[in-house]
Structure 1
Amino acid sequence: MNKFIWHCTIICLAGLLFSSCRKESNIQPQDVSQSRNVTTESTVLLNEDFESGSKTAYTVGSISLNSGSWTLDDALIGNLAADLKNGSKSVRIRNTGTLSSDFSISGATGAITITIKHGTYGTDGNSTWQLWTSANNGQSWTQQGGTITTTTSLQTATFNLTGTGSLRISIRKVSGGTNRINIDDVNVTLGSGGSGGSNPTDDSNLLLGNPSNAITNITSENNYLMEKAYYALSYSRGRGTPNWVSWHIQASDLGSASRSNDFRADSTLPASWYQVQNSSYTGSGFDRGHNCPSADRTATTAANSATFLMTNMMPQAPNNNQQTWANLENYTRSLVNAGNEVYIVCGSYGQGGTGSLGGVTNTIDNGRVTVPSNIWKVVVVIPNGSNDINRINGSTRVIAVNTPNRNDISTDWTQYKTTVRAIENATGYNIMSNLRPSLQDSLETRIDP
């Protein structure tokens, strides 16, 4: 059986198995335009194994493959014993070379899964690479997932994203100097998002899933996906806040960078949308409350500064922000310092909070920013390691907290522990959608002891 048929068979079987057991919710999302949905089958949009091409020099050039034309820059088609490959050929990249499709994949609308085999060439040292995609024929590009590190064996990296029509792919080697890497078997499938059958990329900010099926499309103004380098979020234009923010913390994210305090509008929002300003919360009685905390991103000044975009903020009662929530954040970082890595999703919902001025406030900034009634967080804790999605099991610790947005709440965050399922019922989200349904049921229905 050739590789194309084998991949199609596996993908289709996974889709059929999933379609019979995917859990559903009758709750409609809070201020979100698209609710969770069920994918019943997968469609292969691209399957490129590089067996049909030939390129023996690293100089930049385009080659014709079964899927179409690809440009290889500081890259060639390798067929030596030292080339890691599934078959007789794979792409070999050195320095900061790239492998990019010259064509756009059509029909890439909805949940997309991209899998790429990768490894270190021969006895070279390990390197890192990134996946970038373009939805506008290469005019602009967006990085998907995290930075991937190669090893001496052929591994599979999996990326989950939401497509909006067409899709181009660029694989970019970003470190390792003259050390070479191999890339093989680039596959793109439509309709496998949230199946729990894929293996999302380690350290991805969306490893647990896309809770509201947010998409980067201006028509999805209250569920607009924004994938930043240091976190991902669903933004609500109508509320002026994120619906949720998702991120990963490992030891390398925690360093000595100072708090930048450079609160600022997010200029990457669609041009016609109002941008919440640094001063929008002034005099409101509410803090500019981080979803992804500043102290979770102290490895570099750039990482810390990234958390001060106003698209990462919510109007938060000062005592909630500075005491209750700060205590939870400090505890979470202590888990990382103790040898764990954590995946976190944080958000808010409802309307009406009580800040330092007293009384319930529904909106601030002349009605352009909604004050939430509740603020929630889900923390998934696993020991340091690799193949993260497959290391989450029935014994994994999951901390779920839901606090009222009030200034008079307890400073003890443990008083507000709840279940993930309760938060899902309140919001309509599917917070851990990349886990298989039976595992979701096990983890989401218990309170952290």
Structure 2
Amino acid sequence: MAKFRSNHQRRGKGSTGMVAKVGIFSALIAGLFFIFNLFTGEHFETNSADPELSYFLPKGGRGVVVEQTTYALSYNEAHEQAEWVAYKLSGATLREPYVERTDDFRPDPAIATGSAHPNDYRHSGYDRGHLIPAADRAYSKLAMSETFLMSNISPQARQFNGGIWRELEELTREWAKDAGELYVVTGPLLDMEPKGVIGNNEVTIPGGYFKVLLDLEEPQLKAIGFVLPNTISYEPLYKFVATVDEVEAMTGLDFFAGFLPEEVETELEAKADIDLWPLDKDKFRKRIENWNNR
């Protein structure tokens, strides 16, 4: 059984090692590597509006990869939910006016075996928790609506979904605005002991969730992971920081393989410097005083 690491304090100060030196050169190399893969590398064929999406999808999963307009996921039929969802998060689109929340939860017709159904969650005591948040795609009614497909939904404890998970999602949007663009992979920890199942489709209630972030924008290339138990939390977010390598070990997934030059990937995935991802004391206070009590 995977175990949570809750002792990931701040790791290091500022830029160290190779990542501190790569700068514009590494970003250029990453771009050239992407072009090389376009002609020779292994990648998923996609119908996405963003052709780059296919190149940073995790490898090693057990599900079926499905493409939506602005994100991809791997649907695990045994658990009736995605084992991961991957997408790019743009600061530019986050600054656009928000459309009205659609709230149109529905089965995903792209899942050949049939996805979970909204009724599976009825009277379960668990929220229909988004993996890619609706607010991450609030610039477009179509993009927003696609986040309500049940393939993107996972059973989350109410005070987790509206508490520490909300805090992390809001911070991720702030980091994307600051960076300009982030690559995001998130999902349930399906190899952990589950908390049970819900509904006629027997949707697994995960014991926890992960989120992995990659920033390839100047002036600082960086990556970080978070591993969170599916329950209410009064701990600060830095307690749940993990390296990408550690998240890979917990999930069996390989993030960003073939997307970056190997030496850059190795360096970025081995470190998790929370100082490069500023937290928000006001959000933490709101979680403790308000969000956790709803």
Q: Give the TM-score, by structure 2 length.
A: 0.72
Secondary structure, in 3 states, of the residue corresponding to 2:53?
A: coil
Q: Does 1:290 align with 2:290?
A: no
The correspondence of residues 102-181 of structure 1 with structure 2, limited to 5 A, is: 158=35
In structure 1, what is the equivalent of residue 29 of structure 2? none
- Say if 1:310 and 1:377 are closer, same or farther in 2 by CA, change over 3 A: same
Secondary structure, in 3 states, of the residue corresponding to 2:84?
A: strand
The correspondence of residues 18-29 of structure 1 with structure 2, limited to 5 A, is: none
Q: Does 1:405 align with 2:230?
A: yes
Q: Is the 8 A contact 2:185 2:213 kept in 1?
A: yes
Q: Is the 8 A contact 2:163 2:233 kept in 1?
A: no
Q: Is the 8 A contact 1:204 1:247 kept in 2?
A: no
In structure 1, what is the equivalent of residue 164 of structure 2? 324
Higher gyration radius (CA): 1
User: Runs of 4 or more off by more than 4 Å in structure 1?
Assistant: 155-160
Percent pairwise identity: 29
Secondary structure, in 3 states, of the residue corresponding to 1:303?
A: helix
Q: Does 1:212 align with 2:59?
A: yes
> Given the alignment, which residue of 244, 266, 272 partners 1:420?
244
Q: Is the 8 A contact 2:73 2:84 kept in 1?
A: yes
Structure 1 residue 296 displacement after superposition: 0.3
Cα distance between partner residues in 2 of 1:306 and 1:367: 21
- Say if 1:329 and 1:411 are closer, same or farther in 2 by CA, change over 3 A: farther
Q: Does 1:235 align with 2:75?
A: yes
Q: Does 1:378 align with 2:191?
A: no
In structure 2, what is the equivalent of residue 258 of structure 1? 100
Deviations 1:138-187 (A, max 9, x none): xxxxxxxxxxxxxxxxx998496xxxxxxxxxxxxxxxxxxxxxxxxxx8
Cα distance between partner residues in 2 of 1:203 and 1:319: 37
Secondary structure, in 3 states, of the residue corresponding to 2:116?
A: coil
In structure 2, what is the equivalent of residue 446 of structure 1? 271
Q: Is the 8 A contact 2:224 2:271 kept in 1?
A: no
- Indicate the structure with greater strand content: 1
Cα distance between partner residues in 1 of 2:52 and 2:158: 31
- Say if 1:336 and 1:351 are closer, same or farther in 2 by CA, change over 3 A: closer
Give 2:188's aligned amino acid.
S
Q: Is the 8 A contact 1:351 1:373 kept in 2?
A: yes
Give 1:422's aligned amino acid.
E
Secondary structure, in 3 states, of the residue corresponding to 2:120?
A: coil
Cα distance between partner residues in 1 of 2:228 and 2:216: 24
Give 1:371's aligned amino acid.
I
Q: Does 1:363 align with 2:197?
A: yes
The correspondence of residues 264-275 of structure 1 with structure 2, limited to 5 A, is: 264-270=106-112, 273-275=113-115
Q: Is the 8 A contact 2:60 2:252 kept in 1?
A: no
In structure 1, what is the equivalent of residue 16 of structure 2? none
| Structure 1: unaligned runs, 5 residues or longer | 1-154, 161-186, 195-200, 215-221, 354-360, 384-390
Secondary structure, in 3 states, of the residue corresponding to 1:205?
A: helix
- Indicate the structure with greater helix content: 2
Secondary structure, in 3 states, of the residue corresponding to 1:378?
A: strand
The correspondence of residues 299-310 of structure 1 with structure 2, limited to 5 A, is: 299-310=139-150
Secondary structure, in 3 states, of the residue corresponding to 2:248?
A: helix
Cα distance between partner residues in 2 of 1:346 and 1:257: 24
In structure 2, what is the equivalent of residue 122 of structure 1? none
Higher relative contact order (CA 8 A, sep 6+): 2
Q: Is the 8 A contact 2:92 2:177 kept in 1?
A: no
The correspondence of residues 23-102 of structure 1 with structure 2, limited to 5 A, is: none
Q: Does 1:248 align with 2:88?
A: yes
CA RMSD of aligned residues (A): 2.7
Secondary structure, in 3 states, of the residue corresponding to 2:123?
A: coil
Q: Give the TM-score, by structure 1 length.
A: 0.48
Q: Is the 8 A contact 2:92 2:180 kept in 1?
A: no
Q: Is the 8 A contact 1:342 1:379 kept in 2?
A: yes
Task: Count residues with an aligned counterpart.
Answer: 234
Give 2:223's aligned amino acid.
V
Secondary structure, in 3 states, of the residue corresponding to 2:73?
A: strand
Q: Is the 8 A contact 1:211 1:430 kept in 2?
A: yes
| Structure 2: unaligned runs, 5 residues or longer | 1-31, 44-48, 275-294
Q: Does 1:338 align with 2:172?
A: no
Cα distance between partner residues in 1 of 2:70 and 2:36: 16
- Say if 1:375 and 1:297 are closer, same or farther in 2 by CA, change over 3 A: same
Cα distance between partner residues in 2 of 1:372 and 1:417: 19
Give 1:205's aligned amino acid.
L
Deviations 1:73-116 (A, max 9, x none): xxxxxxxxxxxxxxxxxxxxxxxxxxxxxxxxxxxxxxxxxxxx
